[in-house]
Copies of this chain bind each other. A is one copy, B any other.
Protein backbone atom coordinates (compact mmCIF):
# COMPACT_ATOMS: atom_id res chain seq x y z
CA UNK A 1 0.00 0.00 0.00
CA UNK A 2 1.31 3.45 -0.89
CA UNK A 3 1.85 6.19 1.64
CA UNK A 4 -1.14 8.01 0.12
CA UNK A 5 -3.44 5.08 0.84
CA UNK A 6 -2.16 4.97 4.42
CA UNK A 7 -2.83 8.69 4.95
CA UNK A 8 -6.43 8.15 3.81
CA UNK A 9 -6.71 5.02 5.99
CA UNK A 10 -5.51 6.92 9.05
CA UNK A 11 -7.92 9.75 8.31
CA UNK A 12 -10.71 7.15 8.33
CA UNK A 13 -9.40 5.65 11.60
CA UNK A 14 -8.67 2.30 9.97
CA UNK A 15 -6.66 0.12 12.41
CA UNK A 16 -4.85 -2.05 9.82
CA UNK A 17 -3.69 1.16 8.09
CA UNK A 18 -2.43 2.44 11.43
CA UNK A 19 -0.45 -0.77 12.08
CA UNK A 20 1.08 -0.63 8.60
CA UNK A 21 1.92 3.06 8.93
CA UNK A 22 3.71 2.45 12.24
CA UNK A 23 5.71 -0.46 10.78
CA UNK A 24 6.69 1.71 7.81
CA UNK A 25 7.94 4.44 10.16
CA UNK A 26 9.59 2.09 12.66
CA UNK A 27 11.56 0.33 9.94
CA UNK A 28 12.33 3.49 7.98
CA UNK A 29 11.00 1.94 4.79
CA UNK A 30 10.50 3.75 1.49
CA UNK A 31 7.97 6.55 1.76
CA UNK A 32 7.95 6.88 5.56
CA UNK A 33 9.00 10.53 5.53
CA UNK A 34 6.37 11.37 2.88
CA UNK A 35 3.76 9.70 5.10
CA UNK A 36 4.86 11.67 8.18
CA UNK A 37 4.98 14.85 6.11
CA UNK A 38 1.38 14.31 4.93
CA UNK A 39 0.19 13.59 8.49
CA UNK A 40 2.01 16.58 10.04
CA UNK A 41 -0.87 19.13 9.84
CA UNK A 42 -3.11 16.84 11.93
CA UNK A 43 -0.48 16.16 14.62
CA UNK A 44 -0.57 17.97 17.96
CA UNK A 45 -3.90 17.15 19.59
CA UNK A 46 -2.80 14.29 21.86
CA UNK A 47 -1.46 14.68 25.38
CA UNK A 48 1.81 12.71 25.41
CA UNK A 49 2.77 11.19 28.74
CA UNK A 50 6.19 9.62 29.33
CA UNK A 51 6.49 7.05 32.11
CA UNK A 52 9.85 5.66 33.17
CA UNK A 53 11.42 3.90 36.13
CA UNK A 54 13.57 0.89 36.94
CA UNK A 55 12.55 -2.63 35.86
CA UNK A 56 10.30 -4.17 38.50
CA UNK A 57 8.67 -0.86 39.47
CA UNK A 58 5.32 -2.15 38.25
CA UNK A 59 5.00 0.14 35.24
CA UNK A 60 3.17 -2.40 33.07
CA UNK A 61 0.49 -2.99 35.70
CA UNK A 62 0.22 0.74 36.32
CA UNK A 63 -0.22 1.46 32.61
CA UNK A 64 -2.82 -1.30 32.30
CA UNK A 65 -4.81 0.40 35.09
CA UNK A 66 -4.34 3.83 33.53
CA UNK A 67 -5.68 2.53 30.21
CA UNK A 68 -8.71 1.02 31.96
CA UNK A 69 -9.43 4.27 33.80
CA UNK A 70 -9.10 6.34 30.62
CA UNK A 71 -11.44 3.99 28.75
CA UNK A 72 -13.98 4.13 31.58
CA UNK A 73 -14.00 7.93 31.01
CA UNK A 74 -14.31 7.35 27.23
CA UNK A 75 -10.84 8.75 26.53
CA UNK A 76 -8.91 6.96 23.77
CA UNK A 77 -5.34 5.95 24.59
CA UNK A 78 -2.28 4.53 22.83
CA UNK A 79 0.73 2.99 24.57
CA UNK A 80 4.22 2.94 23.02
CA UNK A 81 6.52 0.66 25.01
CA UNK A 82 10.18 1.22 24.20
CA UNK A 83 12.16 -1.90 25.03
CA UNK A 84 15.90 -1.58 24.78
CA UNK A 85 16.35 -5.33 25.17
CA UNK A 86 19.68 -6.95 24.56
CA UNK A 87 20.15 -9.73 22.00
CA UNK A 88 20.40 -12.15 24.93
CA UNK A 89 16.81 -11.92 26.07
CA UNK A 90 15.28 -10.92 22.76
CA UNK A 91 12.33 -9.09 24.19
CA UNK A 92 11.65 -10.86 27.47
CA UNK A 93 10.15 -7.64 28.81
CA UNK A 94 7.30 -8.02 26.36
CA UNK A 95 6.09 -11.06 28.31
CA UNK A 96 4.72 -8.68 30.92
CA UNK A 97 2.49 -7.12 28.37
CA UNK A 98 0.78 -10.14 26.96
CA UNK A 99 -2.13 -9.84 29.35
CA UNK A 100 -2.65 -6.28 28.13
CA UNK A 101 -3.59 -7.76 24.76
CA UNK A 102 -7.17 -8.25 25.95
CA UNK A 103 -7.47 -4.49 26.05
CA UNK A 104 -6.61 -4.24 22.36
CA UNK A 105 -9.99 -5.72 21.36
CA UNK A 106 -11.23 -2.23 22.22
CA UNK A 107 -10.65 0.07 19.20
CA UNK A 108 -10.13 2.99 21.61
CA UNK A 109 -6.86 1.38 22.78
CA UNK A 110 -3.70 0.70 20.81
CA UNK A 111 -0.56 -0.89 22.27
CA UNK A 112 2.73 -1.08 20.41
CA UNK A 113 6.14 -2.28 21.54
CA UNK A 114 9.22 -0.84 19.88
CA UNK A 115 12.54 -2.62 19.92
CA UNK A 116 15.79 -0.72 20.13
CA UNK A 117 16.95 0.30 16.67
CA UNK A 118 20.22 1.94 15.76
CA UNK A 119 21.74 4.37 18.22
CA UNK A 120 20.00 5.99 21.14
CA UNK A 121 19.40 9.17 19.17
CA UNK A 122 17.81 7.12 16.43
CA UNK A 123 15.44 5.40 18.82
CA UNK A 124 14.31 8.68 20.38
CA UNK A 125 13.59 10.18 16.94
CA UNK A 126 11.71 7.10 15.74
CA UNK A 127 9.67 6.93 18.95
CA UNK A 128 8.61 10.54 18.41
CA UNK A 129 7.59 9.73 14.83
CA UNK A 130 5.53 6.71 15.89
CA UNK A 131 3.76 8.98 18.41
CA UNK A 132 3.08 11.45 15.59
CA UNK A 133 1.26 8.72 13.64
CA UNK A 134 -0.83 7.82 16.72
CA UNK A 135 -1.52 11.51 17.35
CA UNK A 136 -2.66 12.03 13.73
CA UNK A 137 -4.92 8.97 14.07
CA UNK A 138 -6.71 10.78 16.89
CA UNK A 139 -5.68 9.08 20.13
CA UNK A 140 -6.31 11.54 22.97
CA UNK A 141 -3.56 10.22 25.26
CA UNK A 142 -0.29 8.65 24.18
CA UNK A 143 1.67 6.91 26.93
CA UNK A 144 5.38 6.38 26.20
CA UNK A 145 6.91 3.76 28.49
CA UNK A 146 10.66 3.35 28.85
CA UNK A 147 12.53 1.03 31.21
CA UNK A 148 15.52 2.27 33.14
CA UNK A 149 16.93 5.03 35.28
CA UNK A 150 19.68 6.27 32.94
CA UNK A 151 19.99 9.39 30.84
CA UNK A 152 18.80 7.89 27.55
CA UNK A 153 15.73 6.23 29.08
CA UNK A 154 14.54 9.49 30.61
CA UNK A 155 15.45 11.38 27.42
CA UNK A 156 12.95 9.28 25.48
CA UNK A 157 10.21 9.55 28.11
CA UNK A 158 11.13 13.22 28.55
CA UNK A 159 10.23 14.08 24.96
CA UNK A 160 6.58 13.84 26.08
CA UNK A 161 4.51 16.80 27.29
CA UNK A 162 4.40 15.31 30.79
CA UNK A 163 6.96 12.93 32.33
CA UNK A 164 6.39 10.70 35.34
CA UNK A 165 9.07 8.76 37.19
CA UNK A 166 7.89 5.60 38.97
CA UNK A 167 9.90 4.38 41.95
CA UNK A 168 9.32 1.56 44.42
CA UNK A 169 10.54 1.22 48.02
CA UNK A 170 13.33 -1.13 46.85
CA UNK A 171 14.55 1.33 44.15
CA UNK A 172 18.04 1.56 45.56
CA UNK A 173 19.87 2.75 42.49
CA UNK A 174 16.97 4.88 41.26
CA UNK A 175 17.05 6.96 44.43
CA UNK A 176 20.85 7.12 44.28
CA UNK A 177 20.67 8.40 40.71
CA UNK A 178 18.08 10.94 41.78
CA UNK A 179 20.26 12.04 44.72
CA UNK A 180 23.29 12.40 42.50
CA UNK A 181 21.32 14.75 40.27
CA UNK A 182 22.14 12.61 37.24
CA UNK A 183 18.50 12.56 36.33
CA UNK A 184 16.65 15.50 34.86
CA UNK A 185 13.66 16.43 36.90
CA UNK A 186 10.32 14.74 36.10
CA UNK A 187 6.94 16.49 36.21
CA UNK A 188 5.41 13.92 38.55
CA UNK A 189 6.91 11.32 40.87
CA UNK A 190 5.02 8.18 41.78
CA UNK A 191 5.93 5.78 44.57
CA UNK A 192 4.29 2.54 43.47
CA UNK A 193 3.82 -0.57 45.64
CA UNK A 194 3.12 1.93 48.40
CA UNK A 195 1.81 -0.81 50.71
CA UNK A 196 5.37 -2.11 51.14
CA UNK A 197 7.68 -1.13 54.00
CA UNK A 198 9.73 1.98 53.33
CA UNK A 199 7.19 3.61 51.01
CA UNK A 200 6.46 6.58 53.30
CA UNK A 201 10.17 7.18 53.79
CA UNK A 202 10.75 7.09 50.02
CA UNK A 203 7.99 9.67 49.47
CA UNK A 204 9.67 11.90 52.08
CA UNK A 205 13.13 11.38 50.57
CA UNK A 206 11.93 12.36 47.11
CA UNK A 207 10.12 15.40 48.53
CA UNK A 208 13.27 16.48 50.36
CA UNK A 209 15.35 16.05 47.21
CA UNK A 210 12.86 18.09 45.22
CA UNK A 211 12.94 20.77 47.92
CA UNK A 212 16.72 20.93 47.72
CA UNK A 213 16.57 21.10 43.94
CA UNK A 214 14.07 23.91 44.04
CA UNK A 215 16.36 25.74 46.43
CA UNK A 216 19.27 25.30 44.05
CA UNK A 217 17.22 26.25 41.04
CA UNK A 218 16.06 29.39 42.81
CA UNK A 219 19.60 30.45 43.68
CA UNK A 220 20.66 30.11 40.06
CA UNK A 221 17.71 32.05 38.65
CA UNK A 222 18.87 34.98 36.53
CA UNK A 223 16.87 38.25 36.84
CA UNK A 224 14.94 37.69 33.61
CA UNK A 225 14.03 34.21 34.79
CA UNK A 226 12.50 35.48 38.01
CA UNK A 227 9.43 33.39 38.77
CA UNK A 228 6.18 35.06 37.80
CA UNK A 229 2.58 33.98 37.67
CA UNK A 230 3.13 33.30 33.97
CA UNK A 231 6.55 31.78 33.41
CA UNK A 232 8.37 32.95 30.28
CA UNK A 233 7.46 30.73 27.34
CA UNK A 234 10.49 28.75 26.26
CA UNK A 235 11.70 28.18 29.80
CA UNK A 236 12.96 24.63 29.99
CA UNK A 237 10.79 22.20 31.93
CA UNK A 238 11.41 22.46 35.64
CA UNK A 239 13.95 25.25 35.38
CA UNK A 240 13.43 28.47 37.25
CA UNK A 241 9.93 27.43 38.08
CA UNK A 242 10.00 27.97 41.83
CA UNK A 243 7.27 30.45 42.69
CA UNK A 244 3.57 31.10 42.68
CA UNK A 245 2.79 30.32 39.04
CA UNK A 246 5.27 27.49 38.77
CA UNK A 247 4.69 23.76 38.51
CA UNK A 248 5.76 21.95 41.65
CA UNK A 249 6.20 18.27 40.80
CA UNK A 250 3.89 16.28 43.11
CA UNK A 251 5.05 13.06 44.76
CA UNK A 252 2.15 10.62 44.54
CA UNK A 253 1.65 7.08 45.84
CA UNK A 254 -0.06 4.07 44.30
CA UNK A 255 -0.69 0.38 44.65
CA UNK A 256 -1.28 -0.21 40.96
CA UNK A 257 -2.07 -3.89 41.37
CA UNK A 258 -5.12 -2.89 43.48
CA UNK A 259 -5.92 0.12 41.32
CA UNK A 260 -5.17 2.51 44.20
CA UNK A 261 -3.81 5.93 43.31
CA UNK A 262 -4.55 5.67 39.60
CA UNK A 263 -7.27 8.35 39.58
CA UNK A 264 -4.99 10.77 41.45
CA UNK A 265 -2.26 10.13 38.89
CA UNK A 266 -4.65 10.94 36.03
CA UNK A 267 -5.71 14.10 37.89
CA UNK A 268 -2.01 14.97 38.17
CA UNK A 269 -1.45 14.44 34.44
CA UNK A 270 -4.44 16.64 33.60
CA UNK A 271 -3.30 19.35 36.03
CA UNK A 272 0.16 19.40 34.46
CA UNK A 273 -1.29 19.64 30.96
CA UNK A 274 -3.57 22.50 32.05
CA UNK A 275 -0.53 24.22 33.56
CA UNK A 276 1.41 23.84 30.30
CA UNK A 277 -1.47 25.32 28.32
CA UNK A 278 -2.11 28.18 30.74
CA UNK A 279 1.55 29.20 31.02
CA UNK A 280 2.21 29.14 27.29
CA UNK A 281 4.82 26.42 27.82
CA UNK A 282 2.93 23.88 25.73
CA UNK A 283 3.17 26.04 22.61
CA UNK A 284 6.82 26.92 23.30
CA UNK A 285 7.77 23.31 24.07
CA UNK A 286 6.12 21.96 20.94
CA UNK A 287 7.76 24.63 18.80
CA UNK A 288 11.17 23.71 20.23
CA UNK A 289 10.37 20.02 19.67
CA UNK A 290 9.59 20.68 15.99
CA UNK A 291 12.84 22.64 15.57
CA UNK A 292 14.85 19.83 17.16
CA UNK A 293 13.03 17.25 15.07
CA UNK A 294 13.80 19.16 11.86
CA UNK A 295 17.48 19.27 12.81
CA UNK A 296 17.46 15.52 13.42
CA UNK A 297 15.75 14.86 10.08
CA UNK A 298 18.43 16.95 8.31
CA UNK A 299 21.28 15.12 10.11
CA UNK A 300 19.66 11.75 9.31
CA UNK A 301 19.24 12.73 5.64
CA UNK A 302 22.91 13.77 5.38
CA UNK A 303 24.05 10.56 7.06
CA UNK A 304 21.87 8.48 4.71
CA UNK A 305 23.21 10.44 1.76
CA UNK A 306 26.84 9.70 2.55
CA UNK A 307 26.52 6.11 3.85
CA UNK A 308 23.73 4.75 1.64
CA UNK A 309 23.11 6.85 -1.50
CA UNK A 310 26.78 7.64 -2.14
CA UNK A 311 29.83 5.42 -1.79
CA UNK A 312 30.93 6.52 1.72
CA UNK A 313 30.96 2.96 3.05
CA UNK A 314 33.14 1.77 0.13
CA UNK A 315 35.53 4.69 0.61
CA UNK A 316 35.76 3.82 4.32
CA UNK A 317 36.47 0.15 3.61
CA UNK A 318 39.15 1.11 1.06
CA UNK A 319 40.87 3.51 3.47
CA UNK A 320 40.56 1.60 6.75
CA UNK A 321 43.80 -0.39 6.39
CA UNK A 322 45.75 2.86 6.07
CA UNK A 323 44.01 4.20 9.20
CA UNK A 324 44.78 1.02 11.16
CA UNK A 325 48.44 1.09 10.04
CA UNK A 326 48.72 4.78 10.94
CA UNK A 327 49.50 5.86 7.35
CA UNK A 328 46.46 8.14 7.51
CA UNK A 329 44.09 9.17 10.31
CA UNK A 330 40.32 8.82 10.82
CA UNK A 331 40.16 12.61 10.38
CA UNK A 332 41.93 12.70 7.02
CA UNK A 333 39.84 9.79 5.74
CA UNK A 334 36.63 11.46 7.00
CA UNK A 335 37.67 14.72 5.33
CA UNK A 336 38.19 12.88 2.03
CA UNK A 337 34.75 11.25 2.29
CA UNK A 338 33.04 14.60 2.98
CA UNK A 339 34.94 16.23 0.10
CA UNK A 340 33.95 13.42 -2.28
CA UNK A 341 30.31 13.91 -1.25
CA UNK A 342 30.46 17.63 -2.03
CA UNK A 343 32.27 17.05 -5.34
CA UNK A 344 29.80 14.29 -6.19
CA UNK A 345 26.96 16.78 -5.88
CA UNK A 346 28.66 18.98 -8.47
CA UNK A 347 28.52 16.31 -11.15
- Residues of A whose CB lies within 8 Å of any CB of B are 33-34, 36-38, 40-41, 54-56, 84-89, 92-93, 116, 119-121, 147-153, 155, 170-174, 176-177, 179-185, 213, 216-217, 220, 239, 286-287, 290-291, 293-295, 297-299, 301-303, 305-307, 312, 316, 319-320, 323-324, 326, 329-335, 337-338, 341-342, 345-346
Contacts and interface: CB of A to CB of B under 8 A. Distances in A.
A327 to B, nearest CB: 8
Given A150-B153, A151-B148, A89 B216 contact: yes
A181 B330 contact: no
A286 B320 CA distance: 11
B181 A85 contact: yes
Contact of A294 (B93, B305, B323, B341): B323
Contacts of A326: 40-41
Nearest to A149: B173
Contacts of A293: 330
B298 A334 contact: yes
A182 B148 contact: yes
A330 B121 contact: no
Contacts of A341: 302
B88 A181 contact: yes
A34 B293 CA distance: 31
